[in-house]
């Protein structure tokens, strides 16, 4: 039961359900546009009540009724498909692609602008501490930033560098 619940609550299943509902809504809108606007216009051009009755080619058969090839119905289905594809592209795909591009550029720009987020190494921290201590003691840094103190410069005293006789 837990696995089934996880499956249902995954993002892909929810996205698919939303897509089906939106697709059904688009289909209803496009069907009304084709049947109420496009069919009458094309039907008027071909002197028919709708595309289903336009461009009909009758083929004689041996039976009572002739077979009919309804090119107008095919044309109506193609127009219906093109309208649905255009609505999906211009209302969903194009804006989402633009938003993804803007978000990607923003993330890329932030990555380029934040090299200071990398923590300093131990050596860099120690060098900063040394420089701060020297500046507090009033000693100037040697050329090249070296941290070496010559043994002759070291103060003498117990436990500091030289030996004292007791």
Tens digits of residue pLDDT in 101-159: 988 888 887 777 665 567 788 999 999 999 999 998 876 555 555 555 444 444 554 54
Domain interval for residue 41? 2-117
Residue at 19 is within a domain: yes
Residue 144 tokens read as: 């090249």
Q: What is the CATH number of the domain that holds 67?
A: 1.10.1200.120
Give pTM, 2 decimals: 0.47
CA atoms within 13 A of residue 62's CA, in its CB half-sphere: 0
> What sign for the dihedral angle of Cα 7, 8, 14, 16?
positive
Which whole-number Å values give the CA distances from 3 to 9, 15, 16, in the listed order?
10, 19, 19
Contacts of 11 (CB under 8 A, 6+ apart): none
Total number of domains constituting the chain = 1
* 147 within a domain of the structure (yes/no): no
Residue 8 counted as domain residue: yes
């Amino acid at each position: 039961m837990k696995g089934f619940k996880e499956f249902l609550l995954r993002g892909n299943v929810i996205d698919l359900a939303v897509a089906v509902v939106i697709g059904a809504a688009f289909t209803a809108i496009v069907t009304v546009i084709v049947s109420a606007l496009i069919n009458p216009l094309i039907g008027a051009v071909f002197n028919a009540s709708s595309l289903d009755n336009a461009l009909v080619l009758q083929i004689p058969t041996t039976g009572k009724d002739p077979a009919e090839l309804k090119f107008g119905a095919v044309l109506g289905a193609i127009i219906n498909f093109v309208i649905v594809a255009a609505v999906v592209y211009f209302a969903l795909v194009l804006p989402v692609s633009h938003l993804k591009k803007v978000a990607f550029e923003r993330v890329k720009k932030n990555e380029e602008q934040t090299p200071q987020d990398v923590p300093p190494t131990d050596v860099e921290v120690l060098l900063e501490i040394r420089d701060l201590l020297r500046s507090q003691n009033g000693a100037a840094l040697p050329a090249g930033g070296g941290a070496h103190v010559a043994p002759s410069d070291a103060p003498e005293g117990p436990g500091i560098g030289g030996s004292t006789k007791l």
